[in-house]
Structure 1
Amino acid sequence: MVLVPQVRKKPIFQREVLGAAVLHVRSGRATSRTTLARELGISPSTTGQYVDRLIAERLLDESGINQGPMGRPRRILKTRSEAGWFAGVEFSAQRVQAVGVDFSGRVVAVLTRTLPAEVTANIVIQTILMSVLKLAESMSGPLISVGLGVPGLVDPQAGLGILFTFIPDWKQIPVVERVAAKLGVPVILQGSLRVIALAERWFGLGHDLNDYVILGPRSGFGIAMVQQGRVVEGAHHAAGEVGRWPWPLGGGKADSQELHHALSAPATWRRLSGLPAHAPLPEDLRSAVAALAQTAGPEWEAVCEDYARVVGCVQLVTDTELFILHGPLTELGVRFCESITIAVRGLFPSLADAPPRLVPSQLGDEAGALGAASLAMESWAPV
């Protein structure tokens, strides 16, 4: 980010630069005034003024000596963990997951609340509020802001949950307004898979990548794309809704099935188990999926080929560095990902020599909540 001196005087831009400075220090990309100046793209003297302000406001510390192989010793910049905390909350139709992250980006508290079978939008909102208040019991310092990972279609600018198929009355819900009114802090909303993409940037495999795709077969099916370091939203906030593709690809208008009917985590479990499409789900879907990790035979191959069609098509559109698999199907392990890659080679001759890389995430069920907390951290700037 390069700012000219005249612009730097404006308060709104000063806040942006201060917020960016904290992000660079928190991420570890900047450990001194010199490296911070390089990351911000501004002069060392101007950077020093920003650092002095952040130290005075007790948001950064400067201590110790970092002696490199050459040159003068540099004092080390660090964020102050006790400056406050961020809450991250993400939910599905079955549960609400929440994490509390301190100002330095360390996870301090994690909790899960199960939702009733007949869940409503109001129950979800109340559970979100109770979860944040429960997190506060384990955190120190003030709550700074809350990030929300909301499934289905969302409008982040308006703070709306537009539609989530698996909660019948989740339509045009003013999530941000309702949560902020009770908690009295800024609340930021984004789609569930997009916050998971942020979780991978801060806590997972995306830390050193500028381009990657989250593959998200969960209750439904979607993807989130990071390109040139930015999460892609789309003109109508619907980028990545591949679960709405007609399925199978190339099916006629009379075929009303969509991709998520065949490739969501529940649908995949049923297919691999040889069960009918509406068979009841196990209480612990992850464990049930894990029991199928060594499955072999025609149905395994058919599932992997279906996933390969999706991955190959997305790869041809995005040319991404890495696909990261999320959700219960990560329990199928590396073998599942490798089987998909092999199928891509057979189905897409143009990708045979350089197939997409697909790996299971290591973040687990709390990935969405971690990503929501990451959203809050990335959106924050000093007052």
Structure 2
Amino acid sequence: MRTKPADQSVLLASILLQLRGQHASSRSSLSKVTNLSPSTVGIYVDHLIALGYVNESGLEQGPMGRPKRKLSLLPDAGWFAGVEFNAERVQAVRVDFAGNRVASLVRSLPAKTNTQTVLREIRSVVVGLGKLAPGPLLGMGVGAPGLVNPESGVAMQYAFIPDWKNVPLVQELSEDFPVTVTLENNLRAIALAERWFGGGRELDDYVILGPRSGFGIAIVKNGQLVRGGHHAAGEIGRWPWPLTGGGGEIHDEMTAPAVWRRLTAGRQDTLPMDLRSALKGLSGETGKHWDLVIADYARVIGLLHLLIDAKTYFLHGPLTALGQRFCQEISQQAAQMVPALKDMPPVILPSDLGDEAGALGAASLAMEAWIPEMSGVQAL
């Protein structure tokens, strides 16, 4: 077997991803999921063991056939940083080489924050995550709000930080951290978090619903993130609202803060510091304000479902505190509003990944982008 070193590195990385995702746990199962011959897989596995990334030990007895030696990743071989932010806070996680979340940090941002403050806090949380980490930093993923260009590494625009315009985020962070830095829109990063850590493990088609300080979605179709020709796929918060016109946008009525204000109907003037907990206290609400929120969400998601026809919609952000009832009533109302959905109502589930979802997704970006170096071991 003779292949280019770059191709060999990519194959090694793909084998590591299969092991990390628990799609294989032995040489024979790796051969099946990679469509490589057993002898070729054996050579690559031996190489990964020599590099210090994989351990082979014990016996794994299947329902039939001979016992197999079990393969596992060495958690301390290195770590990945995932960072996600919005206008209120920077959230970061450390994920070990085996794909386990092992540490997290969150930093609040001041009111009316600016670009330099955000960059400073991102650098600070990554340095903080590295303290006591047993291995080297291997890669960093960043989930940025608004429009981003993953290919150029530029965060293009985010409405809630006024001077956040065409920020060369990958370049900025690469100057401080000599690893591969990967950039993605934060909701699309969350979609990867569902694939690695949540309910999307066995799904190829699903949508992330992200009504947070803004309202956007992320789409996974045939196992791939959908970005769009202008990197703006999923910006449904810019849809006119109401749909009949009137000058407003969905952002005005259906973000998490807007829903809280609508459900409290002016009973409280100041947005609570812990919006998730405040919304949890409203999860038993009934009456016209609740019904109007449900109707608006049903209309939007019903139309979205006709367009995308996703298998599952994962709700993220503070509105998950409204519980399964909130999701079920939206689905039921959507099927009533849109007759075509009678036999295919949208399946909406509140995610259980919590506020760390974006940072976990950013770490997933880093894991998927990382390619092992071939130095130190004889080429294959």
TM over 0.5, yes or no?
yes
Runs of 5+ in structure 1 lacking a partner?
none
1:156-195: CA deviation from partner (whole Å, max 9, x where unpaired): 1111110000001001001111111011221100000001
Amino acid at match of 1:282: P
Task: Please tell me whether the aligned partners of residues 108 and 139 of structure 1 are also in contact (alpha carbons under 8 angstroms).
Answer: no
Hey, what does 1:12 align to over in structure 2? 6
Hey, what does 2:262 align to over in structure 1? 271
Deviates most, 42-51 or 76-85: 42-51
* CA distance in structure 2 between the partners assigned to 1:209 and 1:49 by the alignment: 31
1:294 corresponds to which of 268, 275, 284: 284
Q: Give the 3-state SS of the residue equivalent to 1:98 in structure 2.
A: strand
| Structure 1 position 12, deviation (Å) | 2.4
1:256 corresponds to which of 244, 247, 260: 247
Hey, what does 2:274 align to over in structure 1? 284
Higher relative contact order structure (alpha carbons within 8 Å, sequence separation ≥ 6): 2
Hey, what does 1:305 align to over in structure 2? 295
Task: Please tell me whether the aligned partners of residues 92 and 151 of structure 1 are also in contact (alpha carbons under 8 angstroms).
Answer: yes
Task: Please tell me whether the aligned partners of residues 191 and 220 of structure 2 are also in contact (alpha carbons under 8 angstroms).
Answer: yes
Q: Report matched runs for 1:1-383 at 5 Å.
A: 9-251=3-245, 255-275=246-266, 279-383=269-373
Q: Give the 3-state SS of the residue equivalent to 2:282 in structure 1.
A: coil
1:123-170: CA deviation from partner (whole Å, max 9, x where unpaired): 000000000000111421000011000000000111111000000100
* CA distance in structure 2 between the partners assigned to 1:54 and 1:314 by the alignment: 44
Q: Give the 3-state SS of the residue equivalent to 1:236 in structure 2.
A: coil
Runs of 5+ in structure 2 lacking a partner?
374-380
Amino acid at match of 1:124: V
Task: List structure 1 segments (4+ residues) > 4 angstroms apart after TM superposition.
Answer: none
* CA distance in structure 2 between the partners assigned to 1:345 and 1:138 by the alignment: 52
Task: Please tell me whether the aligned partners of residues 109 and 138 of structure 1 are also in contact (alpha carbons under 8 angstroms).
Answer: no
Return closer, same or farther for 1:138/1:289 CA change in 2, 3 Å cut-off: farther
| Structure 1 position 347, deviation (Å) | 0.7
| Structure 1 position 13, deviation (Å) | 2.0
| Structure 1 position 279, deviation (Å) | 4.7
* CA distance in structure 1 between the partners assigned to 2:159 and 2:56 by the alignment: 49
Hey, what does 2:376 align to over in structure 1? none
Task: Please tell me whether the aligned partners of residues 180 and 370 of structure 2 are also in contact (alpha carbons under 8 angstroms).
Answer: no
In the superposition, the TM-score normalised over structure 2's length comes to 0.96
* CA distance in structure 2 between the partners assigned to 1:243 and 1:138 by the alignment: 41
Deviates most, 37-46 or 353-362: 37-46
| Structure 1 position 381, deviation (Å) | 1.3
| Structure 1 position 219, deviation (Å) | 0.6
How many pairs align? 373
Amino acid at match of 1:32: S
